[in-house]
With several copies, the nearest count.
Chain A
Amino acid sequence: MPQGELFVPPQPDALRDWFRHKPKHLTRKVTTAREAIGQLVRDGDYLAVGGFGTNRIPTALLHEILRQGRTGLGMSGHTATHDFQIMAAGPCIDRVDVAYVVGLEARGLSPAARRLFEGGLLKVTEWTNAALAWRYRAAAMGVPFLPSRIMFGTDTWEYSAARAIQCPFTGMKLAALPALSPDVALIHVHEADVYGNCRIQGISVSDPDLARASRRVIISAERLVPHDEFRRDPTRTVIPHFCVDAVVEVPYGSYPGNMPYEYFSDEEHLQAWLEAERTPESLRAFLDKYILGVEDFPQYLHLCGGLPRLQKLRRLELMLDTEGRGESTERL
């Protein structure tokens, strides 16, 4: 039987009570990153981050957690790359459900994240991306588990906290994945209204399920739009307001990550992070300069090149060349 620790056991009835008492009416939830993190993220909480590692991530909210010095957080590693890197930099975390962490895809491995693992500073349970996606889905559906056909026969299975069950109809062996309801979800979206209704353009990754699964949900949005805009086209509402606890408007809020249709990732800055991580000292200096020593996210953007840099990343995203022509594969 798998021997991994189940950091967040499924508790559908306790969650029902929680969700029953979330406010459902249209109340204004707009606040600052500082306030939102200050009030809704506590030491020891279990955290999950929307988007996909370096794409549509709530960077401003993550910086704020680091700046406020949260510790002892648990984290879901559903492809957590730059987001994981920020939490590992604290370190703010002491346990992690791993699907994909430490690496930044083709960019290399995070030395700081490796130090946490290789120094035995984290409790670790192994999963997969689908397992964590379906664990969110289970919580969003209000059931304690979902069956699946993954992980069998591997060490990933052995060090997970899944359970083998038998299908009552077919007799098939199935992998039961326990519902995962994070204490807090942090999700970056394209558009939100003041009540927390949200729209996403492009892939939604696991965020619709994550927003429904989590006890508390903090949204950062590229821009606030009028509430009526949601009522004009309700088909596009991806997260309804009653799932959401706080809304923070953060233009360029996914930087240095990619925000589809808005701006591409800043690969130079991501490389600078990785290089800064080589030693704890160089990382500390980097954090002091870019995160701990600044007041807010706009200051960070300024340090990284400000609007001229962001304009360049926007052209890159839209594949415009330096003259503004489309379909360019130039590197700007």
Chain B
Amino acid sequence: MIPRGGGRALNAYDSYNSMELMICLAARYLEDGATVVVGTGAPCAAAMLAQKLYAPGLVIMFEAGGIGPLLPTMPISVGDSRTFWKGISASSMPEIMELCQRGMVDYTFLGGAQVDMYGNINSTQIGGRQAPPKVRFPGSGGANDLASLCWRTMMIAPQDKRRFVPRLDFMTSPGYLTGPGAREAAGLPPGTGPYKVITQLAVFGFDDATKRMRTENLHPGVSAPEVQDNSGFELLWAPELPVSVPPTGDELAVLRREVDPYRYIIGRN
């Protein structure tokens, strides 16, 4: 637990772990009336939290077909029956992917084993590009599709030098590829790309001119050198680096009591 604030006696909401912090920060980016395709885990927790606190009109979707459920608990699979529990529509994989392709989905959240300075993501394998790999991961799933087609891609991911790498072992899903204009040149829809990366240390955006990852907020108690030390590539820095506003009591209460009462996700810290 990271103690929050100064000399007061700690109560339950004065401390939070990094998973709770990342989820609460992510939730604040999802505005009311937006659409978001999420997976299980932290992104789903963030979307649920946003829906309960800030964005009652957030339309949560899952790639297997669930649209607008009243999520009663955290899904275990992006295709399980919770993903369309009292939903607007129990549709299909093509329905969701086509919603994304025709521009109706604002946000998606992705994870991965590695990310580079352009927000490109590896969820396929460690080791050379030629089989057999040293470690095989699941592959794209819907990640490449969502990163290609949704307007804004977000990541919630722990950060260290193994994960923030200068060169991906395999580029599963597109960030800004090799920099400005590269997505459009490659054939991806204009105006799309990585938006925010939220780690246990900081919040990153992407620099307009270079499309490189840029530190925008440091979490409470985190220093800039610490952030750079936990990245295998050189980070850019916003002119101002406001400290991330820590989770509020409300956020933590709803997250712990309603979103993830069994600590499936927030217990993983």
Chain A interface residues toward B at CB < 8 A: 12-13, 15-20, 22-27, 51-56, 77-79, 81, 98-103, 105-107, 109, 113-114, 117-120, 122, 124, 126-131, 133-134, 137, 139-143, 148-156, 158-159, 164, 172-175, 197, 201-206, 208-209, 212, 230-232, 234-235, 237, 240-242, 258, 260-261, 264-265, 267, 317, 319, 327, 329, 331
- CB of A130 within 8 A of CB of B97, answer yes
Smallest distance from the beta carbon of B173 to chain A beta carbons, Å? 6
- CB of A102 within 8 A of CB of B138, answer yes
- CB of B138 within 8 A of CB of A103, answer yes
Smallest distance from the beta carbon of A238 to chain B beta carbons, Å? 9
A to B CB contacts below 8 Å, 25 in the list: A20-B106, A20-B151, A25-B58, A99-B139, A101-B138, A119-B132, A120-B131, A126-B124, A127-B140, A128-B141, A128-B143, A129-B141, A131-B145, A133-B97, A149-B149, A149-B189, A153-B186, A159-B129, A164-B187, A203-B79, A204-B65, A206-B93, A234-B67, A240-B88, A267-B76
Q: How far is the CA of A99 from the CA of B86 in the complex (A)?
A: 29
Smallest distance from the beta carbon of B47 to chain A beta carbons, Å? 14
Contacts of A151 in B (CB 8 A): 144, 148
Contacts of A134 in B (CB 8 A): 94, 97
- CB of A141 within 8 A of CB of B102, answer yes
For residues 27 through 55 of chain B, which have their beta carbon under 8 Å from a beta carbon of chain A? 32-35, 39-41
Smallest distance from the beta carbon of B39 to chain A beta carbons, Å? 8
For B264, the closest partner residue in chain A by CB is A106
- CB of B103 within 8 A of CB of A106, answer no
Given A105-B40, A106-B76, A152-B186, also A15-B103 (CB < 8 A): yes
Does B73 lie at the interface of the complex (its beta carbon under 8 Å from any beta carbon of A)? yes
Contacts of A24 in B (CB 8 A): 33-35, 57, 59, 104, 106
Q: How far is the CA of A141 from the CA of B104 in the complex (A)?
A: 11
Does B13 lie at the interface of the complex (its beta carbon under 8 Å from any beta carbon of A)? no
Q: How far is the CA of A89 from the CA of B249 in the complex (A)?
A: 48
- CB of B186 within 8 A of CB of A133, answer no
Q: How far is the CA of A205 from the CA of B90 in the complex (A)?
A: 9
Given A149-B189, A174-B187, A329-B73, also A208-B92 (CB < 8 A): yes
Smallest distance from the beta carbon of A308 to chain B beta carbons, Å? 21
Q: How far is the CA of A153 from the CA of B168 in the complex (A)?
A: 13
Contacts of A265 in B (CB 8 A): 76-77, 80
- CB of B72 within 8 A of CB of A79, answer no
Smallest distance from the beta carbon of B125 to chain A beta carbons, Å? 8
- CB of A52 within 8 A of CB of B79, answer yes
For A26, the closest partner residue in chain B by CB is B57
For the complex with contacts A24-B33, A141-B102, 12 further pairs of A-B residues with Cβ separation under 8 Å are A24-B34, A25-B33, A129-B63, A141-B98, A150-B145, A155-B168, A156-B173, A203-B79, A205-B92, A230-B89, A240-B67, A240-B91
Chain B interface residues toward A at CB < 8 A: 32-35, 39-41, 56-59, 63-68, 70, 72-73, 76-81, 83-84, 86-94, 97-98, 100-104, 106, 120, 124-125, 129, 131-145, 148-149, 151, 168, 170-174, 177, 182-183, 186-191, 261-262, 264
Contacts of B34 in A (CB 8 A): 24
Contacts of B138 in A (CB 8 A): 100-103, 109
Contacts of A15 in B (CB 8 A): 102-103
Which residue from B58, B77, B189 sits with its C-beta under 8 Å from A16?
Answer: B189
Contacts of A129 in B (CB 8 A): 63, 93, 97, 140-142, 145
Which residue from A53, A109, A152, A174 sits with its C-beta under 8 Å from B148?
Answer: A152
- CB of B57 within 8 A of CB of A55, answer no
Contacts of B183 in A (CB 8 A): 152-153
